[in-house]
Amino acid sequence: MCPAFKGSEGAQLLGIRQDDGTIAILPQALPVDNAFLQKASQNGKPEEQFRFTGRCIEGGCQQWTGKRCGVADRVLDFIDQIETTITLQPCPIRPSCRWYLQNKADACRICTYVVTEITAIEIEQYIKDK
């Protein structure tokens, strides 16, 4: 399963973005339908507010390196910036998660910090802070 899937009908809701920017992973992934996506789109892109999951499509994804998910590997570059002794929270997709299968618990430790889409305001703030 891809833990950074696009919000689309047939995907599953994996988590909800919190005020601090992290993602709260749900205890159970929930089915996503058009009604949910339309409602979520009223406040911007659904991926700015939620994390979705769906079947990893490997070579059909631009993040696929030929053998691995490139996102799963790139996010580990930031693991030294977070508390790595965090106890892993329950996750409904961990046994089949592409990121976990590639990088084990390290992927889980960084997962809640990954937002699939960020707003233009957040990009401006990031640039300003650099």
Q: Is the Cα torsion angle 33, 39, 44, 47 positive or negative in sign?
A: negative
DSSP code at position 53? E
Domain region containing 40: 2-129
Task: Please tell me the predicted confidence (pLDDT) of residue 109.
Answer: 85
- Which residue in 48, 13, 17 sits closest to 32, CA to CA? 13
Q: Mean of the pLDDT values across residues 92-107? A: 94
pLDDT of 5 strictly over 80: yes
Is 64 buried (19+), middle (13-18) or exposed (0-12) by CB count in 10 A?
Answer: middle
The total number of structural domains that make up the chain:
1
Task: Please tell me the predicted confidence (pLDDT) of residue 122.
Answer: 44
Lowest-confidence pick of 49-58, 71-80, 100-109, 120-129: 120-129
Both tokens of 112, joined, read 């809640």
Question: pTM of the entire structure?
Answer: 0.84
Both tokens of 32, joined, read 């996503």
* 50 CB-near residues (< 8 Å, 6+ apart): 7, 13, 14, 15, 16, 17, 40
Q: Which amino acid is at 129?
A: D
CB distance 48 to 88 below 8 Å: no
Q: Measured between alpha carbons, how far is 54 from 13 in angstroms, rounded to an integer?
A: 9
Task: Please tell me the predicted confidence (pLDDT) of residue 21.
Answer: 84
